[in-house]
Amino acid sequence: MRKPWSMVAAALVVIAALVTGCSSSHQESAPPITVTGDWRGTIEVPDQPLAVGVSFTADGTATIDIPAQGVVDAPLSEVRTGADAVTWTITKIPGRPSFQGVYDKGSDSIKGQFTQSGQSFPLTLTHGKVEGPPRTQEPKPPYPYKSEDVSYPSGDITIAGTLTEPRSGGPFPAVLLINGSGANDRDEELLGHKPFLLLADTLTRAGYAVLRTDKRGVGQTGGRLNSATYSDLTDDIAAGMTFLRNRSDIDAQRIGLLGHSEGGYLAPLYARRSDSGVAFVIMMAGPAVPGSEVLLEQNRLILAAQGATPEQVGKQVGFTSALSSVLCKGDLVAAKDYVRQHNDTLPADERLSEEAMDDLVAPYMASLVCYDPAPALSALRVPVLAFYGGKDLQVPAAQNEGPARTLLAADPDATVMVFDGLNHLMQPADKGTPDEYARIETTIDPQVLTTVTGWLTQRFPPGH
């Protein structure tokens, strides 16, 4: 689940917002120098150096890679490659992150300062492509199973995804993966990790067919996520179920759902439908309390872990609570007015863009904030596996494990468990803060993959 309302507690953390895109570049009139190609360097933040890569093209545009934050080919603006200066800016990010430097012919390097929110850090760029942290678990082709790009209708949009299944045998039991919050692709790629690609690979090797899809407005799937409601998103799950049931290579009686984070809201919500036909539900860090409560607690925990003062935490939690109340009254216009008024009180370098404010009051955000999972969880009567990370600060186990056990108590086959030491992505973590995700080599702890596979094969063994 994304962290949409948290204050920035450390320089450069906000750069991660680049995954949603930045303004296009333009060429300055100063005489160009020969910097075309790939350059790499490290922003020398004390105790937290950040590797970056900048690629300049012959037409005067440039892009930036920040592997530790999952940023790839994000466009830069105000690009200048003149004889007297090399500059660029990352737009739509609070604090106006930018670079001011000069090309040094003697060392064949670009030397300067990276500045954000009034803080400056040395940055020297030299020739070469920046390398990201290792991702040793990421599956690479050729795969020992079939992988097929597929598409199917959901109302007036087309859902696109990938179906993987064993090379022989069948019909296969199947798992439909349901993404977490925000604009996620079929691999649920986040900060250089691809957890859904890994889950699909693991389960398919174990004998299951797995369908994973791009979310609305992402990749090859149509529509706009911000205008979607939870009713729309559960309709998308229904479309995926229909697609799988209509295939002769899929066992229509053994199709289940695995939802991560927000997907753990949506899977039970769809399974509650009388005609869902869902055989099982797996909730990976799926919340068991209302969305507003999850957001409040994750703001408290993450800000405190990042070193925010009690006053800063209180202000952010107060804003989140008030906005949640307005959103859940159904008046999105009033919600936007409230966000704008709050934004005007912030320092200039911390203010949100118009687009970011729109995101906070979109129908999609209102659905997330106002959703109460209790009725859907209480109604489940299929095998359920719900698990949490002990160091998850986004969907905290301390907040959600107990309610999950209570709400699933009437289900004859419900398992709720906590993995000590794991974060929201089920990685072994230190503090559990989102800024650790990219730096951790592991995508999903192997014990989680073993637990999910073992739970499934015990109840829905392949080949039966």
233 is a domain residue = yes
110 is a domain residue = yes
For residues 360-388, average pLDDT: 97
**Quick one: 223 and 154 in the same domain?**
yes
395 is a domain residue = yes
- Residue 82 has a pLDDT of 84
271-325 per-position pLDDT tens digit: 999 999 999 999 999 999 999 999 999 999 999 999 999 999 999 999 999 999 9
pLDDT at 7 over 50: no
If we measure between CA atoms, which residue out of 314, 342, 438, 308 comes closest to residue 8?
Answer: 308
140 is a domain residue = no
91-144 per-position pLDDT tens digit: 777 788 999 999 998 899 999 999 998 899 999 999 999 988 889 999 999 999
pLDDT at 449 over 90: yes
What mean pLDDT is reported for the chain? 91
70 is a domain residue = yes
Q: Which residue has the higher pLDDT, 2 or 97?
A: 97
- Please classify residue 77 by burial: count the beta carbons closer than 10 Å to its beta carbon, then call 0-12 exposed, 13-18 middle and 19+ buried: middle
Domain encompassing residue 356: 292-368
Q: How many domains is the chain partitioned into structurally? A: 3
Residue 64 is given by DSSP the state: E
141 is a domain residue = no
**Quick one: 308 and 421 in the same domain?**
no
pLDDT at 25 over 50: no
- Residue 73 has a pLDDT of 84
**Quick one: 247 and 376 in the same domain?**
yes
For residues 364-393, average pLDDT: 98
Count CB neighbours of 135 within 10 A.
14
Q: pLDDT band for position 21 (50/70/90)? A: very low
| CATH code, domain carrying 240 | 3.40.50.1820
| CATH code, domain carrying 78 | 2.40.128
Domain limit, last residue, from 368, 403, 421: 368
390-407 per-position pLDDT tens digit: 999 999 999 999 999 999
Own/partner pairs, 178-181, CB within 8 angstroms, 24+ separation? 178/237, 178/257, 178/258, 178/259, 178/260, 178/263, 178/266, 178/267, 179/213, 179/215, 179/260, 179/262, 179/263, 180/1, 180/2, 180/260, 180/261, 180/262, 180/263, 181/1, 181/2, 181/261, 181/262, 181/368
313 is a domain residue = yes
**Quick one: 24 and 102 in the same domain?**
yes
Share of the chain above pLDDT 90, in %: 79
